[in-house]
A = this chain, B = another copy of it.
Amino acid sequence: MAVESPALTQLRRGALEHCVLALLEGGERYGYDLVAELSEAGLLASEGTIYPLLSRLRRDDLVATTWRESASGPARRYYALTVKGTDALEAFRDAWGQFSTSVQQILHPKGTS
């Protein structure tokens, strides 16, 4: 595994939350499942991060949840986007575009005269 630079930990802030919303756009997901995908993408370092985050999303009415039993294993809590969540995601896509462009330009300036 690559050595986790502390800078990455800071980068994940703010982005992680909306990445969860983006994943939910493709359909309902449950927490443990999200952990696996986000960890693989390098956007999540610990399971302990996601549950408080999901609680916040629920508190703010960006997602709605339903318990559902699993064919094998304990029951799961599924998360689905609300209308408010969809709006927040769309707003974030804009913000992310502007932000990442700004960072990109500062990191790799064109006119180096």
Contacts and interface: CB of A to CB of B under 8 A. Distances in A.
Q: Is the interface of A mostly helix, strand, loop or mixed?
A: helix
A107 B42 contact: no
What number of copies of this chain does the assembly contain? 2
Interface residues of A, number: 36
A14 B22 contact: no
A96 interface: yes
A103 interface: yes
B103 A15 contact: yes
Given A11-B99, A98-B42, A93 B109 contact: no
Nearest to A88: B7
A102 interface: yes
A47 to B, nearest CB: 18
Contacts of A107: 18-19, 22, 92-93, 96
